[in-house]
């Protein structure tokens, strides 16, 4: 249980650091958020729990493929905000786009030989 709490606190600290940095320096906040720190931590925790290289490899590869359909959200949200759309609707549109792209990706992935 203590390990789970430590994982949650460390992951939360990364999110807090990104949001606090972004208040002063948006670019630095974006840099912190874009670092694959959570993915790296997840790989470390998975390795510690399973000691299974194939499982870590599959996790890492899956992370790569699922990042791709999430990227357009980071273009749509700022575009909507700059056009005067309020934050919550812009964020909801970005999330809806990401979910739609995930669904499409899950349908297409097996057809191009990806096992996720």
From first to last of its 116 residues, what are the pLDDT tens digits of the chain? Answer: 888 898 889 888 888 988 999 999 999 988 888 888 889 988 999 999 999 999 999 999 999 999 999 999 999 999 999 999 999 999 999 999 999 999 999 999 999 998 87
| C-alpha–C-alpha distance, residues 12 and 18, integer Å | 10
Long-range contacts: 26-33, Cβ < 8 Å, 24+?
A: none
pLDDT of 10 reads 86
For 51, list phi and psi in degrees, rounded to 5: 50, 40
Cα–Cα distance for residue pair 72/88, rounded to 1 Å = 17
Q: What is the pLDDT of residue 15?
A: 86
Q: Do residues 87 and 78 lie in contact, with contact meaning Cβ atoms separated by under 8 Å?
A: no
């Amino acid at each position: 249980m203590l390990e789970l709490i430590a994982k949650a606190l460390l992951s939360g600290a990364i999110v807090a650091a990104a949001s606090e940095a972004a208040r002063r320096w948006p670019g630095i906040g974006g840099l912190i958020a874009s670092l694959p720190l959570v993915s790296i931590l997840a790989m470390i925790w998975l390795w510690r729990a399973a000691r299974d290289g194939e499982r870590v490899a599959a996790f890492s590869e899956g992370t790569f493929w699922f990042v791709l359909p999430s990227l357009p959200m980071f273009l749509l949200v700022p575009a909507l905000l700059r056009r005067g759309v309020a934050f919550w609707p812009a964020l909801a549109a970005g999330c809806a786009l990401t979910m739609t792209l995930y669904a499409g990706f899950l349908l297409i992935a097996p057809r191009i030989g990806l096992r996720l």
